[in-house]
A and B are shown apart, each in its own frame.
Chain A
């Protein structure tokens, strides 16, 4: 008979009391989510594996300090995101742009045209291509923007949850998201400018 699924809260409590199988269950539950998050954040599998390992070891060691005011998943995401950010900051040659740099003018800068891929008949091939282009664009996002974009838009956390994970205010989350989108839009239009000959742009 399958065992009844225990809540995260129960597993956390048991883990705190030294029950290693309870913590192992939490690992089973969250490892692929953390790995996916880390892969999106770092852009490669080796780093994602490192992040996974470090995040769960950190969580295991500091579990006694976890006050259970937040959800376990939020706390774990926070640890993992911080490990990712540290990794990104250590990398040399990471694209760095000022967080205060104005990217839109007051009148609203007019972006270049971006072709609409979503209605193309060859959608399957384009989906692959689109994902690749987006992967590249996400890779190039500065770390502070990347973390909000991945958590909010790709992992589907709310603004408030994203703020909790990052330890930032709602206003900061919103403003970084905004800048991440501007950055991505610019990247996407660069891609089309570089790859599509003018005759195809009609």
Chain B
């Protein structure tokens, strides 16, 4: 496997959706690669974990209220 091939299947690797054989080839490339693959994969993986581990953002109160108000209005219009 070369850098280009690794790159093409990186998301599947991170989601653990690769066939075991291909996954092993990818790991082997990561051990041997003299270019930026190892650091990129680590950094990429860590960033994604950071995003995923942060809870969904809280919707500001005024935004929540406005949304409910608009939906309520929309519902009333339908009834009329």
Contacts and interface: CB of A to CB of B under 8 A. Distances in A.
Interface of A: 18, 20, 23-24, 27, 31-33, 35-36, 39-40, 45, 49, 52-53, 56-57, 60-61, 104, 108, 110-119, 127, 130-131, 134, 152-154, 156, 158-159, 174, 177-178, 181-182, 184-185, 188-189
Secondary structure call for the B interface: helix
Interface residues of B, number: 42
A32 B57 contact: yes
Given A53-B67, A181-B7, A134 B47 contact: yes
Q: Which of A49, A114, A119, A156: most chain B CB closer than 10 A? A: A114
Nearest to B2: A108
Interface of B: 2-4, 7-8, 10-12, 14-15, 17, 35-36, 38-40, 42-48, 50-52, 56-60, 63-64, 66-68, 70-72, 74-75, 78
Contact of A49 (B11, B52, B63): B63
